[in-house]
A and B are shown apart, each in its own frame.
Chain A
Amino acid sequence: MDGTPRLGHGFRFQWEPAQSCHVLLYPEGMIRLNQSAGEILARCDGNRDIAAIVADLEQAFASPGLRPEVEAFLTMAIGKRWLRLDAPTP
């Protein structure tokens, strides 16, 4: 899996104090995110590619080997159109 994930059309990602969690907002709805989903999505800013996101998370949480977990989440999130994946630049 390769490329640069960015938020899907119409989605907004933000921290919600009243919910004490990150959420994804979309037309007429809201998804509450658990902590790891929130940490991953916070890094899907359209600038970092997957490798950079993984490296960043591994460093922030001092825990190597996060790639499979991140990829599983990204695959799910792309399937739900929370994210789009820009192809890697050659």
Chain B
Amino acid sequence: MNAPAAPIGPPMWLLAEVTYRCPLHCVFCYNPVDFARHEDELSTDDWLRVLHEGRELGAVQCGFSGGEPLLRDDLEVLIAEARRLGYYTNLITSGVGLTEARLDAFKAAGLDHIQLSFQDSSREINDFLTHTRTFELKQRVGEMIKARGWPMVMNVVIHRLNIEHIGRIIEMADALGAEYLELANAQYYSWALLNRDQLMPSREQLRRAEAVTDEWKARLAERMRILFVVPDYHEGKPKKCMNGWGNVFLTVTPDGTAQPCHTARMLPGLDFPNVQEHSLRHVWFESEGFNHYRGTGWMKEPCASCEDKEKDYGGCRCQAYLLAADPDAADPVCPKSPHHEHVAAALEQAETAAPSTKPLIFRDPKESRRLCGQD
């Protein structure tokens, strides 16, 4: 066992992934590819207890996400309890299914903040990417959020199929009164990895998108903050995944499995505790799953002797597993990784002008079952 050197502080975030159900079918969905194997959901009482225990551990931010969290009809009960316990409460939603009445209930429950995720500002691509006609709805939802006095925070996942529209996306966010806009380049795990050939932009596309974003940043400086998140593939820099394993985030998945990130369950040989059997205190401080990759003691070369190891903690464990078939390896986006050629090849392929002819794989339960061999 690798004992972490530094004392373990409290988690700052409790991420409650309350359901994997979702009306959308995003091709970059961050839910595990085999999500359909984990259909069980915690009861309301279980979630209330989890909220309580997380707050006792010292978590201050509580995020409700999914899937689409609106599909839990006890969401307002959970939000109200989280708010009462002193969390800053965040709802991360696509807005599908959000009504005036529901928003009023969230307001009464004390919800602090809503992050609305958009797929694109252009109706066609949006509908294409989500398989549903959701664009106008989101526009309406954005207005409803704003009208109730919430800060308007938007997130748009950027990829090859919408990156050319980035100026339009920013313009639309501004028209909706967004105060904060995150333009997050797709990260290639889960569904986005399956669709990587179709989703990864070329260097030139990325460069142009950043330049356009910079122009808008200058123009809108007074009323909107824009964050452009560069993909780690192109940067050639492993990111400090989840701000350090078991350092900031405690994620509880729909069936109660607690993990340091959304997708850690895929890692072989690690046992993640379920909140139905263990307290969050045990989960955070004592469980093997949370302790295993804390700190730097678990590393092998080239990370173990690397001067940047405290900066990025060797990058993302899931990416190491997915690309190098070794969860202890350096994240292959790192040029020092012996598996970096895999990333380099994907980048090269993205340079070709011809669009990939592979069909996109849309996230849905049937595909999920097919992909994990259950259908």
Q: Which residues of A approach B to under 8 Å, CB–CB?
A: 9-10, 12, 14, 16-19, 23, 25-30
Contact = CB atoms under 8 A, between A and B. Distances in A.
A10 B90 CA distance: 11
B129 interface: no
A19 B86 CA distance: 13
A10 B60 contact: no
Nearest to B83: A12
B61 A25 contact: yes
A9 B151 contact: yes
B88 A26 contact: yes
Nearest to A25: B88
Given A10-B112, A27-B113, A18 B58 contact: yes
Interface of B: 10, 12, 57-58, 60-61, 63, 86, 88, 90, 112-113, 115, 150-151, 153, 179-180
Contacts of A17: 58
B60 A25 contact: yes
A19 B112 contact: no
B313 to A, nearest CB: 21
A27 B61 CA distance: 8
A28 B60 CA distance: 9
Given A16-B60, A18-B58, A19-B58, 16 more contacts: A9-B151, A10-B112, A12-B88, A12-B112, A16-B58, A25-B60, A27-B88, A27-B90, A27-B115, A27-B151, A27-B153, A28-B63, A28-B90, A29-B61, A30-B60, A30-B88
Contacts of A26: 88
A12 to B, nearest CB: 6
Nearest to A17: B58
A28 to B, nearest CB: 6
A23 B179 CA distance: 22
Contacts of A30: 12, 60-61, 88
Contact of B112 (A18, A23, A27): A27
Q: Which of A9, A10, A23 has the largest number of chain B CB atoms within 10 A?
A: A10
A18 B281 CA distance: 13
Q: Which of A9, A12, A25, A27 has the largest number of chain B CB atoms within 10 A?
A: A27
Sorted nearest first, the 3 A-B pairs with minimum C-beta distance are A18-B58, A25-B88, A10-B151
Contacts of A12: 88, 112
Contacts of B115: 27-28
Contact of A28 (B57, B61, B86): B61
Contacts of A27: 88, 90, 112-113, 115, 151, 153, 180
A14 B36 CA distance: 40
A27 to B, nearest CB: 4
B256 to A, nearest CB: 23
A18 B88 CA distance: 15
Nearest to B86: A14
Nearest to A18: B58
B268 to A, nearest CB: 31
A14 B88 CA distance: 10
Nearest to B57: A18
B55 to A, nearest CB: 9
A16 B59 CA distance: 10
A81 B86 CA distance: 22
